[in-house]
Amino acid sequence: MDEEERIYRKVESIVRQDNRSTYIGEDDLVRLTQRGITVTFHLKHEKLDVINLLRTIKRTQKIIGEKLGYTLDDIRVNIYRSGAEVLRDGGRRNPYASWAAGYFDGEITIVSEEDDEEEAKSLFIYLTHEIIHCAVHEITGGRCPFWLDEGLSVFLSQELPDGYLESLHDALETGSLLPLRGLENPDDRILDDEEQRRIAYAEAACMVECLVVSPFHGWERVKGLLRNLKKEDMDGALLEQCLSYDLIQSDMEKWAKKKIGEIIPADRRIL
Taking only the tens place, the pLDDT of each residue in 29-55 is 899 999 999 999 988 887 888 999 999
Query: Are 206 and 200 in contact, with CB atoms under 8 Å apart?
Result: no
The tens digit of pLDDT for each residue in 10-28 reads: 777 765 555 555 666 667 8
Q: What is the pLDDT of residue 271?
A: 44
**DSSP strand pairing (75-80 vs 102-104):** unpaired
- Residues 134, 77: Cα–Cα separation, whole Å: 11
DSSP element (H, E) containing 56: helix 50-63
Question: Which of 100-114, 167-181, 253-267 has the lowest average pLDDT?
Answer: 253-267
> pTM for this structure?
0.88
Task: Give the CA distances from residue 261 to residues 90, 207, 248, 255, in Å, rounded to whole numbers and listed in that order.
Answer: 47, 17, 20, 10
The rounded radius of gyration (Å) of the Cα atoms in the chain is 22
Strands (E), 25-154: 29-34, 37-42, 75-80, 102-104, 108-111
**Reported confidence tier of residue 142, pLDDT bands at 50, 70, 90:** very high
Task: Give the chain's mean pLDDT.
Answer: 86
Query: Are 185 and 146 in contact, with CB atoms under 8 Å apart?
Result: yes
Q: Is 73 helix (H, G, I), strand (E, B) or coil?
A: coil
Q: What is the pLDDT of residue 96?
A: 54
Overall size of the chain counted in residues? 271
Question: Which of 15-19, 213-217, 231-235 has the lowest average pLDDT?
Answer: 15-19
